[in-house]
Structure 1
Amino acid sequence: MFEPSAPLILFIALTFLLAGFVKGVVGLGLPTIAVGLLGLSMPPLQAAALLIAPSVVTNIWQLTGGSRFTALLHRLWPMLLGIFIGTLAASWLLGSQPLHYATSVLGIALVAYALLGLGKVHFQVTPATEHWLAPVIGALTGAVTAVTGVFVIPSVPYLQALGLQKEELIQALGLSFMASTLALAISLMHSDTLQQGPLFGASLLALLPALGGMFLGQWLRQRISQERFRQWFFCGLLLLGANLALRF
């Protein structure tokens, strides 16, 4: 049972302020940072449930913040559909049984990808490859989401390999994370975690610091160059991957 106290509420607010700021700067990181820090003071399932409202609203803000929404949706819908199918299928197959070390392995893969990016090793997805690769990437991302609660692998490397510009990439990430969040919320409906009144209320209250942090992060992102953004993007992935890799 979730029993909020004043110190816990303050800790939740500061956690979502930081997570929202990172998301505002590089377009990702809110789930990983929030669940990672909240896991210090509550069960992982409660932390994931707290994440639902801030994640949904910040992703809506992120995916509607650019001018390419319709074009990106038309281009990415096979991947988004794959995310839904992969998340729900993996949740149904695995149930509540965790896969040990899955999150750590995911973190190692993310660190390796970030180091390649910082080393300016470029990956590119051609239009012909994108046609069949998008639903596969989506399904794999959904399966990883169901197992770890993290949305970034392999969708983030795939989107980055499409050669999108800074604001296009941010908007595409918002679309991907929105699909993952909704699919994860549906899978959590099988438990009674989301039905707890105090937990649902705390999730709504967490919106305020998350939105405040995201506003500050976006303000900073708009004042940096494409190359600086690229560097910060991969540094963010490196830190997120290291955080995941150190979990046991």
Structure 2
Amino acid sequence: MFGLDLTIFLMAAGVTLLAGLVKGAVGFAMPMIMISGLASFLPAEEALVALILPTLLTNCVQALRQGPAAALAAVRGYWRMIATLVVFVLLTAQAVPRMPQALLLGALGLPIVLFALSQLAGRQIRFDARHRGRAEVLSGLVGGVYGGLSGVWGPPTIALLVSLDAGKRESVRVQGVVYMIGSAALLAGHAGSGVITPDRLWLSAGLVLPALAGLWLGFAIQDRLDPARFRRWTLVVLTITGLNLIRRAFAV
């Protein structure tokens, strides 16, 4: 199915369903779960393309959940970070086809492990928010560089929002908007890099339904979960899958 053996496709759909469920339940980690899970049994470039459409559409749902006016306000409020993120996603995406597989796997796994372990240890990365414009640009630069390689720009975005003491509703809304625009930039960047092929794009389209189903399940069970415990186990899973990517990098 979608260019894959049925068993492999079902594994990819299962990873995507889990990623959507986590996003719906706790609002983060979908691209990290998808890239670390999919790249464990698919080539890294194929895994990267596979996550693009599911993350784009689920982020549209998250960004517009409070209405178009609220989403537009988030764009106006964080335009420096968003503009910087888009530029560096477009630039960095062009490097992916030229990176050796081992280097790409390591670049995917190491930051995921560092992020997950820092969260488990209770250490939150922060930017110096005394100069908000500078903090936004730095956040967008870091997120854009890593986002172009992996589709993951969550950690620097979350770090900026924590540094600015953004409220819960604002934080969820801004993350949805930033991730939605970043996903669109990733699609455009890799359309030019040559990483996107028809077969890979069909696979990405085939994973949209599991992603949306997982997102709906996450929304449905959100109020019934112990969010702290669920988040902790999500970080444990991310650590394990990230370590597996690093292992694969040394094995290539």
Instruction: Count matched residues.
Output: 240
Q: In structure 1, what is the equivalent of residue 83 of structure 2?
A: 81
**Which residue of 2 is the match for residue 47 of structure 1?**
47
Aligned to 2:250: none
* Letter of the structure 2 residue corresponding to residue 88 of structure 1: L
TM-superposed deviation, 1:191:
4.3
With over 3 angstroms needed to count, the CA separation of the structure-2 counterparts of 1:245 and 1:130, relative to structure 1, is farther
C-alpha displacement of 1:12: 2.3
- Tell me how far 1:180 sits from its aligned partner: 2.3
When residues 93 and 105 of structure 1 are mapped into structure 2, their CA distance, relative to the original with a 3 A threshold, is same
Amino acid in the other structure paired with 2:200: L
Residues 170-219 of structure 1: CA deviation (Å, up to 9, x unaligned): 222212222322222222113444332x4333322211111011011112
Shift of 1:147: 3.3
In the alignment, the residues of structure 2 paired with residue 211 and residue 15 of structure 1 have an alpha-carbon distance, to the nearest angstrom, of 13
Q: Are 2:21 and 1:21 equivalent residues in the alignment?
A: yes
Q: Decide whether the 8 Å contact of 1:106 with 1:245 is kept in 2.
A: no
> Which whole-Å CA distance do the structure 2 matches of 1:93 and 1:7 have between them?
31
Aligned 8 A contact 1:144 1:153 in 2: no
Q: 1:123 to 1:194 in 2, by over 3 A?
A: closer
Amino acid of the residue matched to residue 49 of structure 2? Answer: A
Q: Aligned pair 1:218/2:216, yes or no? A: no
Structure 1 residue 43: deviation in Å? 1.1
The Cα shift of 1:246 comes to 4.4
- Secondary structure of the 1:190 match is helix
| Distance (whole Å) between structure 2 residues aligned to residue 156 and residue 97 of structure 1 | 28
Cα separation, partners in 2 of 1:16 and 1:139, compared to 1, 3 Å = same
User: CA separation of 1:12/1:102 partners in 2, compared to 1, >3 Å: closer, same or farther?
Assistant: closer
In 2, distance between residues paired with 1:122 and 1:51?
Answer: 25
Q: For structure 1, which runs of at least 5 residues remain unmatched after alignment?
A: none
Larger displacement relative to structure 2 (35-44 or 206-215): 35-44
Which secondary structure state, in structure 2, belongs to the residue aligned with residue 154 of structure 1? helix
Query: Is structure 2 residue 71 aligned with structure 1 residue 103?
Result: no
Tell whether the 8 Å contact from 2:89 to 2:145 is kept in structure 1 after alignment: yes
SS at match of 1:164: coil
Deviations along 1:127-173, one digit per CA (max 9) or x if unpaired, are x4222210121011101122344222322222233323333322222
Q: TM-score scaled to structure 2, two decimals? A: 0.80
Report if the CA contact (8 A) 2:108-2:242 is conserved: yes
Could you tell me how far apart the structure 2 residues matched to 1:177 and 1:79 are?
A: 12
Report the counterpart of residue 144 of structure 1 in structure 2.
146
Which residue of the partner structure matches residue 165 of structure 1?
A: 167
Query: Could you say which residue in structure 2 is the equivalent of 1:72?
Result: 74
Q: 1:81 to 1:156 in 2, by over 3 A?
A: same
TM-score (normalizing by structure 1): 0.81
Of 176, 185, 188, which aligns to 2:187? 185
Counterparts of 1:64 and 1:14 in 2: how far apart (Å)?
26
CA distance, structure 2, for counterparts of residue 243 and residue 42 of structure 1: 13
- Mean CA deviation greater in 230-239 or 161-170: 230-239
SS of the aligned residue for 1:194 comes to coil
SS at match of 1:42: coil
Query: Counterpart of 2:119?
Result: 114
Aligned to 2:35: 35
State the alpha-carbon separation in 2 of the partners of residues 19 and 125 from structure 1: 31
Structure 2 gap ranges (5+)? 247-252
Runs of 4+ in structure 1 deviating by more than 4 angstroms, as ranges, are 92-95, 121-126, 228-235
After TM superposition, give the deviation of residue 62 of structure 1 in Å: 0.8
